[in-house]
Amino acid sequence: MEGERADEIAVNRELWALVNERYTGPAAEALWSRPEMVWGLYDVPERQLGVLGDVDGLDVLELACGTAYCSAWLTRSGARVVAADLSAEQLRTARDLQRRTGPAFPLVQADAEHVPLASGSFDLVVSEHGAAAWCDPERWLAEAARVLRPGGRLVFLTNSLLSALCVPDDEGVATNSLQRGQRAAYHVRWPGGGAEFHPSHGDWIRLLRRFGFSVEALHELYAPPDAPDHPFYEIVTTAWASQWPAEELWVAWRTTAAVTRNG
* Residue 134 near ligand SAM by CB under 6 A: yes
* Residue 159 near ligand SAM by CB under 6 A: no
* Residue 198 near ligand SAM by CB under 6 A: no
Looking at beta carbons, which residue is closest to ligand SAM?
Answer: 66
Q: For residues 184 and 161, give the distance between their C-alpha atoms in angstroms, rounded to a whole number.
A: 11
Closest CB 128 distance from ligand SAM, rounded Å: 4
Q: For residues 23 and 15, give the distance between their C-alpha atoms in angstroms, rounded to a whole number.
A: 13
What distance lies between CA 22 and its chain's CA centroid? 17
Q: Binding pattern to ligand SAM, positions 69-98, x when CB under 6 A? A: xx--------------xxx--x--------
* Integer angstrom CA distances of residue 38 from 34, 103, 238: 9, 18, 17
Q: How many residues bind ligand SAM (CB under 6 A)?
A: 22
Give whichever of 129 and 219 is closer to ligand SAM, judged by the CB atom: 129
Closest CB 205 distance from ligand SAM, rounded Å: 23
Closest CB 70 distance from ligand SAM, rounded Å: 5
Give whichever of 59 and 62 is closer to ligand SAM, judged by the CB atom: 62
Q: For residues 236 and 174, give the distance between their C-alpha atoms in angstroms, rounded to a whole number.
A: 5
| One residue of 46, 59, 123, 128 binding ligand SAM per CB under 6 A | 128
Q: What is the DSSP string of 128-153?
A: ESSHHHHS-HHHHHHHHHHHEEEEEE
Before 168, cis peptide (omega within 30)?
no
Q: Tell which positions 8-27 bind ligand SAM, by CB under 6 A.
A: 9, 12, 16, 23
Q: Smallest Cα–Cα separation from 147: which of 70, 203, 57, 84? A: 84
| One residue of 125, 135, 154, 223 binding ligand SAM per CB under 6 A | 135
The residues, ordered by sequence, that sit 6+ positions from 122 with a Cβ below 8 Å of its Cβ are 59, 60, 61, 82, 147, 148, 149, 152
* Residue 113 near ligand SAM by CB under 6 A: yes
Q: For residues 97 and 107, give the distance between their C-alpha atoms in angstroms, rounded to a whole number.
A: 12
Q: Binding pattern to ligand SAM, positions 33-72, x when CB under 6 A? A: -------------------------------xxxx-xx--
Q: Are 41 and 63 in contact (CB under 8 A)?
A: no
Q: Footprint of ligand SAM on this chain (CB under 6 A)?
A: 9, 12, 16, 23, 64-67, 69-70, 85-87, 90, 111-113, 128-130, 134-135
